[in-house]
A and B are shown apart, each in its own frame.
Chain A
Amino acid sequence: MADVLRVDDVVKEFGDAVVTRVLRGVGFALERGEFATLIGPSGSGKSTLLNLIGLLDRPTSGRIWIEGRDVSELDEAELTAFRGRTLGFVFQFHHLLPAFSALENVMLPSYAAEGSPTSAMRARAAELLSAVGLQNKLDARPNELSGGQQQRVAIARALAHDPALVLADEPTGNLDTESANEVFELMRRFHRERGTTFLIVTHDPRIAARSDRSVELVDGAVVYDGPPRA
Chain B
Amino acid sequence: MPFEWFVALRYLREGRSQTALILAAVSIGVSVVVFLSALINGLQASLIKQTLGSQPHVTLHPPELVARPLFAPGTTAAVVLEQSPQRMRSIEQWSSVLEQVARVPGVTAASPTVTGAAFAIRGTAEKPVIVRGVDPERFRAVIDVQSKLTTGRFAPTGSDVVIGVGLADLLNVTVGDKLRVTAAERRDAIVTVVGTFDLGNKEVNDRWVIASLRQAQTLFDLPGGASTIELRVGEAFDAERIALDAAERTGLEADSWMKINAQLLVGLRSQNSSKYMIQFFVVIAVTLGIASVLIVSVVQKSREIGILRAVGTSRSRVLRVFLIEGAVVGLFGSFVGSALGAAFSLAFAMLAKNPDGSPTFPVQLDLPLFAGASVLATSIGLLAAVIPARRAARLDPAEAIRHG
- A: residues with CB less than 8 A from B are 47, 51, 54, 56-57, 76-77, 80-81, 83-85, 89, 91, 95, 97-100, 108-109, 111-117, 157
Contacts and interface: CB of A to CB of B under 8 A. Distances in A.
B398 A97 contact: no
A112 B309 CA distance: 9
Contact of B312 (A80, A91, A97, A98): A80
20 contacts: A56-B398, A77-B315, A80-B309, A80-B315, A81-B314, A83-B310, A84-B312, A89-B311, A97-B304, A97-B308, A98-B14, A99-B13, A99-B14, A99-B304, A108-B311, A112-B3, A112-B308, A112-B312, A115-B2, A116-B2
Interface string B275-302: 0000000000000000000000000000
A56 B310 contact: yes
B332 interface: no
Given A83-B310, A84-B313, A99 B3 contact: no
Nearest to B308: A112
Given A95-B303, A112-B317, A116-B1, A84 B311 contact: yes
Contacts of A77: 314-315
Contacts of B402: 47
Nearest to A112: B313
Interface string B174-194: 000000000000000000000
A51 B398 contact: yes
3 tightest A-B CB contacts, nearest first? A84-B312, A56-B398, A112-B313
Contacts of A115: 2-3, 317
Nearest to A80: B314
B387 to A, nearest CB: 20
Contacts of A100: 10
Given A57-B398, A81-B312, A112-B312, 12 more contacts: A56-B396, A56-B397, A80-B312, A85-B312, A89-B310, A91-B307, A95-B303, A95-B307, A99-B11, A108-B313, A112-B317, A115-B3
A109 B397 CA distance: 15
B328 to A, nearest CB: 15
B6 interface: yes
A47 to B, nearest CB: 8
Nearest to A114: B3
Contacts of B310: 54, 56, 83, 89
A191 B374 CA distance: 55
A145 B6 CA distance: 23
Main secondary structure of the interface of B (DSSP, over half): helix
A157 B11 contact: no
B401 A91 contact: yes
Interface residues of B, number: 25
B401 A116 contact: no
Q: Which residue, B14, B307, B312, B315, has most C-beta atoms of chain A within 10 A? A: B312
Nearest to A91: B401
Contact of B3 (A91, A98, A111): A111
Nearest to A109: B311
A225 to B, nearest CB: 25
Most buried by A among B1, B14, B398: B398
Contacts of A83: 310-312
Contacts of B307: 89, 91, 95, 97
A67 B13 CA distance: 40
Nearest to A97: B304
B288 to A, nearest CB: 26
A117 B315 contact: no
Contacts of B308: 97, 108, 112
B312 A113 contact: yes
A39 to B, nearest CB: 20
Contacts of A114: 3
B213 to A, nearest CB: 75
Interface in B338-366: none
Interface in B1-32: 1-3, 6, 10-11, 13-14
A76 B312 CA distance: 11
Contacts of A89: 307, 310-311
A142 to B, nearest CB: 11
Given A95-B307, A97-B307, A112-B3, A80 B401 contact: no
B293 to A, nearest CB: 17
Contacts of B397: 56
Nearest to B402: A47
B314 A117 contact: no
Contacts of A157: 311
B315 A76 contact: yes
B315 to A, nearest CB: 7
Contacts of B1: 116-117
Contacts of A97: 304, 307-308
A85 B309 CA distance: 12
A51 B309 CA distance: 13
A85 B314 CA distance: 12
